[in-house]
Structure 1
């Protein structure tokens, strides 16, 4: 079967929702990457397998998956026909930072009512003028997610976060657009470059360059949904040129930037973006 990609993405006028992302992939596999936002995922057909914090997970049809921000993960089809998914990227309005640890430990929630509510929210988000309904539904979803994570949270145990790796991560976060060379980073943290890369990859399960590129792609997604042309997006998010943006964007998102940003700011003119371009 030929590879198929169908993607629809938009930013609704609903507080707390950074982006809505609907996709159907038959063969596409996400490499390791991170997001600035929480990722709330339901799968409508097929299944996805993914690694989070070096543990393998899956998305049975009756689950809701919640992936925390800044934690590397990947994703690939777990069935021959691929998967069809609906995703919400959420800021910290409903999910505070202290729930990241419990979400890492238990990202897949078996809760039919929660899954039903997330599906109803996606329906509301596709209808212009129903923003109040969507906001109300999101409030109840946030409440249920917080209850799940706080009830199942284990006794707090300090998560490994070596100082050297954390210092490099802070440097990368502070230089997402302009970037910095490995030599510059090594000088600032007073470490050998090879040791620095090894420490970062060992602590977070992702190479420093992969982390930086996924942060840049996340920023590019937001600008594209605001209607900024890909060429301008590349210039302000740290990519060398539009082709550089396209290569990394397609690798992490599954479609090209030009096919991604056609939805605009609201649910009006709802239409899928088809193909990998």
Structure 2
């Protein structure tokens, strides 16, 4: 069970959302592709707690939710990772790292604002169009994204579109048409690459084998 809570006023410049999840009976939990970096406090009764940073996920993960643990998850605003943690976001992609390994960062308001504008514009335009709108080169835009988000602008847009797909419960052909895919076959291929299963299998609940949930992720 997951519940969203209000972000305290003094954290809103850094944190876009906070949720609290409590595990019940053992089941498969989906961690969908996500371009955000997240602070996670995981508490296991009688086994202590761990505070980690989850970097952007380029593919879905499926893990077992064993009874007992609960997690508080705080999503860092797009582009604020380096300012908050002191490391470029691309070093964290598909990784889970203990918070104590980060040196702490410093703010660069101009860069952070440019990145926020770029992520907003990508929702409705191409990478080339966004670069022209912001008067920067595509190469500079790519560097900005890798440093501040962790993935390229194109990969950011792919993940954003996939998350829009996951939020819908309509026939796949309608979903494809409404989320910018050429056709249903295009959606199916992209879904399989990022989610590890076809759209039809996902809706049936025919998911990949779930792994235990623990602090150390790929590359940690």
Provide closer, same or farther for how the CA distance between residues 211 and 15 of structure 1 changes in structure 2, counting only shifts above 3 A.
same
Q: Secondary structure at the match of 1:85?
A: strand
How far off is 1:74 after superposition?
A: 4.8
State the match for 1:273 in structure 2: 206
How far off is 1:157 after superposition?
A: 2.8
Provide closer, same or farther for how the CA distance between residues 180 and 84 of structure 1 changes in structure 2, counting only shifts above 3 A.
closer
Provide closer, same or farther for how the CA distance between residues 38 and 193 of structure 1 changes in structure 2, counting only shifts above 3 A.
closer
Provide closer, same or farther for how the CA distance between residues 84 and 194 of structure 1 changes in structure 2, counting only shifts above 3 A.
closer
Contact 1:162–1:203 (CA under 8 A) maintained in structure 2: no
Counterpart Cα distance in 1 of 2:144 and 2:37: 25
Counterpart Cα distance in 2 of 1:181 and 1:201: 17
How far off is 1:219 after superposition?
A: 1.7
How far off is 1:213 after superposition?
A: 0.4
Long gaps (5+) in structure 1 = 1-11, 25-32, 43-61, 77-82, 88-93, 110-148, 263-271
Matched, 1:72 2:53: no
Contact 1:166–1:200 (CA under 8 A) maintained in structure 2: no
State the match for 1:171 in structure 2: 118
Contact 1:234–1:241 (CA under 8 A) maintained in structure 2: yes
Contact 2:35–2:156 (CA under 8 A) maintained in structure 1: no
Long gaps (5+) in structure 2 = 5-18, 43-47, 66-71, 209-220
Matched, 1:22 2:6: no
* 1:205 paired residue among 150, 154, 164: 150
Contact 1:168–1:189 (CA under 8 A) maintained in structure 2: no
Q: How does 1:130-145 map to 2 (within 5 A)?
A: none
TM-score, normalised relative to structure 2: 0.52
State the match for 1:232 in structure 2: 174
State the match for 1:192 in structure 2: 137
- The CA RMSD measured in Å over matched residues stands at 4.8
TM-score, normalised relative to structure 1: 0.43
Count the aligned residue pairs: 167
Counterpart Cα distance in 1 of 2:39 and 2:200: 23
How far off is 1:191 after superposition?
A: 1.2
CA deviation vs aligned residue, 1:172-221 (integer Å, no higher than 9, x gap): 33543xx3123311221111223322332344331110011011111211
Counterpart Cα distance in 2 of 1:242 and 1:208: 23
Contact 2:39–2:53 (CA under 8 A) maintained in structure 1: yes
CA deviation vs aligned residue, 1:60-111 (integer Å, no higher than 9, x gap): xx9978655xx424579xxxxxx97237xxxxxx544579757x999467xx
* 1:215 paired residue among 160, 171, 174: 160
Q: Secondary structure at the match of 1:261?
A: helix
State the match for 2:200 in structure 1: 258
Q: Secondary structure at the match of 2:28?
A: strand
Counterpart Cα distance in 1 of 2:128 and 2:62: 42
Provide closer, same or farther for how the CA distance between residues 156 and 201 of structure 1 changes in structure 2, counting only shifts above 3 A.
closer
* 2:63 paired residue among 75, 85, 99: 85
Counterpart Cα distance in 2 of 1:245 and 1:107: 29
